[in-house]
Amino acid sequence: MKPKNKDGKKEPGRGAKRRRLDMVVATVLILLVLVSSVWVGKMTAAGAITTWLVFIAAFITALTTGFGALPFLFTKNISKSWLGYGNAMAAGLMLGASIGLLWEGTEIEGVSVPALRTAVGAVIGGVLVYVIHGALEKRKENFSIGEIRGANAVKMLMIVGIMTAHSFAEGIGVGVSYGESSSFGVFITIAIAIHNIPEGLAISLILIPRGSSVRAAAGWSIFSSLPQPLMAVPAFWFVLAFKPFLPFGLGLAAGAMLWMVVKELIPEAKAELSAAKVYTMMTLTALAMIAFQLVIH
């Protein structure tokens, strides 16, 4: 029985209220992106490439990460098997993104030995995640995010933390691109904004089956991309100083994601699904992610 209000009418259930609030947050998010995009377009067309323009452009890329959670507005019931499918899809998305980052790092022009910088970053990224994960595992019984505790909370923190580290390199990329030319800056902003949507989906695939709301998943997805506007501005000011760090940053993010895929996501997916299903879904998702990156670049 649903609780009744003072007029004797049944109040909406908790699930209905949650979905309604999720819809409001989604609408606000979409409007923010649209309004900001129109403003950036007008400023760019007028030739006014300012610090504020670079910040707002990079902020748009952060907001679009939240779009990855929106498909879950239309999914009311998430069964336990979603953990397996979600982990397999997230593994594929992160694997495809990692391959794209490694390739992008080796292709950066105007930087000496970009392949070596990228490789060093990848190794350090994997080692850092291993150390951090080990420290969190020792405290997982006392660790919580909202109402979610233990191993699931650690998993959620790891995925958000890794994607946040990834965003530092992308923020530098936005700032450097605007420092080179306005047209190149707009192109890179659009590419990263679109690229961030499946990354937000990867985060949501981990968070929502473990009890997170759609708006919380969108919020954490956006949070993971906040380094983009924060790093874009100094990179725009000091293009030459920041550009050499790009290969290392991209490699660092790729290494961290690859560790998460191999050590966490694949084993968890195989606990719920057969190995054939896991690897098939992961491969198809990774190939789709790589194809997607090739198209937008």
Does residue 2 have a pLDDT over 60?
Answer: no
Q: Where are the domains of the chain?
A: 14-296
Give the span between the Cα atoms of 168 and 98, in whole angstroms: 15
pTM: 0.71
What does the pLDDT look like over 184-216, one tens digit per residue? 788 778 878 877 887 788 788 878 877 778 888
| Exposure string over 258-294, b if 16+ CB within 10 A, otherwise e | bbbbeebbbebbbebbeeeebbebbeebbeebbebbe
Q: Dmax of the chain from CA atoms? A: 73
Does residue 251 have a pLDDT over 90?
Answer: no
What does the pLDDT look like over 107-164, one tens digit per residue? 888 888 999 999 998 998 888 878 877 776 666 555 555 555 556 666 667 777 777 7
Sign of the torsion angle spanned by Cα atoms 247, 253, 259, 262: negative
What does the pLDDT look like over 33-92, one tens digit per residue? 999 999 988 888 887 788 899 999 999 999 999 998 888 888 756 666 666 787 788 888
One-letter amino acid of 80: K
Question: How many Cα atoms occupy the beta-carbon half-sphere of 6 within 13 Å?
Answer: 0
- Four-CA torsion 140, 145, 149, 154, nearest 10 degrees: -40
What does the pLDDT look like over 210-234, one tens digit per residue? 777 888 889 988 988 888 898 888 8
The percent of residues above 90 in pLDDT, for the chain, comes to 17
User: Which tokens is 198 given?
Assistant: 């499946």
| Exposure string over 116-149, b if 16+ CB within 10 A, otherwise e | ebbbbbbeebbebbeeebeebeeebeebebeebe
Give the span between the Cα atoms of 202 and 198, in whole angstroms: 6
Secondary structure (DSSP) of 229-279: HHHHHHHHHTHHHHTTHHHHHHHHHHHHHHHHIIIIIHHHHHHHS-HHHHH
What does the pLDDT look like over 20-36, one tens digit per residue? 888 898 999 999 999 99
